[in-house]
Amino acid sequence: MGTMPDIAGFTFEEALKELENVVRRLESGEAPLDESIQLYARGDALRQHCQARLDAAQARIEAIVADRDGKPQALRSFDETAG
């Protein structure tokens, strides 16, 4: 399978693209069993990395919420709709 880049330094977009490549390789059915196991483990690590990046982005968005005058107000959940 060759040397794979370290996931920790990936941006969300890089990790997502790599995850898509892993899924495509697994779905092709062409990878030998040992490689498939490594791919599955890498795919899970990439999924976790993407989720952590999304969680961090959500936390940043929640911290930015301000009132109409631009003054910070209480944090609002990312999932809440503006009212």
pLDDT in tens, 44-76: 999 999 999 999 998 888 777 655 666 666 555
Give me the amino acid identity at 20.
E
Q: Which domains does the chain have, with CATH numbers?
A: 7-64 (1.10.287)
Residues with Cβ within 8 Å of 39's Cβ and at least 6 positions away in sequence, in order, are 1, 22, 25, 26, 31
- DSSP 3-state assignment of 55? helix
Taking the C-alpha atoms of residue 24 and residue 44, their distance in angstroms, rounded to an integer, is: 14
Q: What pTM was estimated for this model as a whole?
A: 0.71
Q: What is the pLDDT of residue 40?
A: 97
